[in-house]
Structure 1
Amino acid sequence: MGSDKLRLPLGPMNLGNYALAAALRSRLDYVWVIVNDVAAAWMDHTFYRDPIKRKWSVIHCPESRLGQAHSLRCGVQAALSMEATALMIVLADQPLITNEMINELLLCFQTHQMNGNIGFAASRYDGLARPPVIFAHRMFSDLLRLQCDQGARHLIRKEKSGICIDFANPDLFMDVDTAEDYRALLGKTTFWKS
């Protein structure tokens, strides 16, 4: 469906805004929105108001059309520029992600980071690690080496010092990649009406 899927109507906002809203309501220190166009026309105007507008910024990454590794590298470079000790990858096409889920991952990562040197903390459903996922600073160089449409999944599989948190609700991981996915998402009307 391409990046236009983030503009699909979903209740009071466009689809891409829900994961962003969850990230902005969470305890994340700062949020970068990686976009392939300058305007990010899917973004809700309320995010541009104080005080929330101070918690995020847009990074234009025209190469993102060439594959997700390009978007990941843009995000890692932004994290490096702010001397971040870790970064979390959240996908805008997963609108049912919640700020509670993000906060649980943050707390788990911070707790384990104090007790040792972990590489990542990932959410997991049905035995499979999925975004959102937090990567420690020491993993940034591995993320920067990703190519084309390569995501971070293989890093999670090979890194032995990571942890996964199991979430029982499959809806949290609903990913809108097709028109059928979007129709299924629209069927979950209780979320959009609350």
Structure 2
Amino acid sequence: MEVDKLKLMLGDMNLGNYALRAAVNSRLDHVWIITGDTGADWIDDSFYEEPIRSKWSVLYCPEASMGQAYSLRCGIEAAISVETAAVMIFLADQPLVTSEMINELLQRYDKESAYDRSVNYVASICDSLPRPPVILGQRMYPDLLRLQGDQGARYLIRQDIPGICIEFDDPDLFMDVDTEEDYRFLLAKTGILKS
């Protein structure tokens, strides 16, 4: 797209704010917004009010435009620096992800990783394909730091690493906006007309 898709209007907010709202309203401890620009000016003013403001931070990643592996690396390095036991990866251009979905993944990860130490991740899947959001345990950090270019967590999940997949039947939850056509489809799907 020729425009910043996260700034596209969807109802009364920019598109990027929907996934952020789901994340800060979930059980996640903290949300890092990994961005290639220093401003992240798509974030709605309401996110700067407490108590929401204390639940998120912007992490500038100058190499973000070089491929998703670079954004992942920035996030994993931040997680390592504060000794985070696991991270959840989700995309700001997935506006239909819900807090309930995030919480379901968190609950399953907490339960499974406490019971079975070999569980490295809990991934959401639809139509047998792993898709974000996905939770990755600390044991996967070294592998994530070695990813290159446009390789993402899906590349690792397909490597027969022990983990859990949760099937979500609603493909709309995974809708992301990469093209003008995707945006028009999203507007039609949600019943929101572009003003």
Q: Normalization by structure 2: what TM-score?
A: 0.95
2:76 paired residue number = 76
Alignment of 1:175-190 (within 5 A): 175-190=176-191
1:59 paired residue number = 59
1:33 paired residue number = 33
Gap change, CA 1:38 and 1:26, over 3 Å in 2: same
- Equivalent pairs counted in the alignment come to 192
2:87 paired residue number = 87
Alignment of 1:1-194 (within 5 A): 1=1, 4-117=4-117, 118-190=119-191
Given that 1:34 and 1:59 are in contact with CA atoms closer than 8 Å, whether structure 2 keeps it comes out as yes
* 2:135 partner SS: strand
Given that 2:93 and 2:176 are in contact with CA atoms closer than 8 Å, whether structure 1 keeps it comes out as yes
Separation in 2, partners of 1:2, 1:87:
31
1:191 Cα deviation (Å)?
7.5
Unaligned runs of 5+ in 2: none
Cα root mean square deviation, aligned: 1.4
Q: Which amino acid aligns with 1:138?
A: R
Q: Normalization by structure 1: what TM-score?
A: 0.95
1:2 Cα deviation (Å)?
6.6
Given that 2:35 and 2:60 are in contact with CA atoms closer than 8 Å, whether structure 1 keeps it comes out as yes
Gap change, CA 1:183 and 1:109, over 3 Å in 2: same
1-10 or 108-117, larger mean C-alpha shift = 1-10
Given that 1:109 and 1:121 are in contact with CA atoms closer than 8 Å, whether structure 2 keeps it comes out as yes
Separation in 2, partners of 1:39, 1:63:
15
Q: Which amino acid aligns with 2:47?
A: F
Deviation sequence 1:79-111 (CA, Å, 0-9, x none): 111110000001001110000000000000010
Q: Which amino acid aligns with 1:81?
A: S
Unaligned runs of 5+ in 1: none
Given that 1:119 and 1:159 are in contact with CA atoms closer than 8 Å, whether structure 2 keeps it comes out as no
Separation in 1, partners of 2:127, 2:66:
30
Separation in 2, partners of 1:154, 1:61:
21
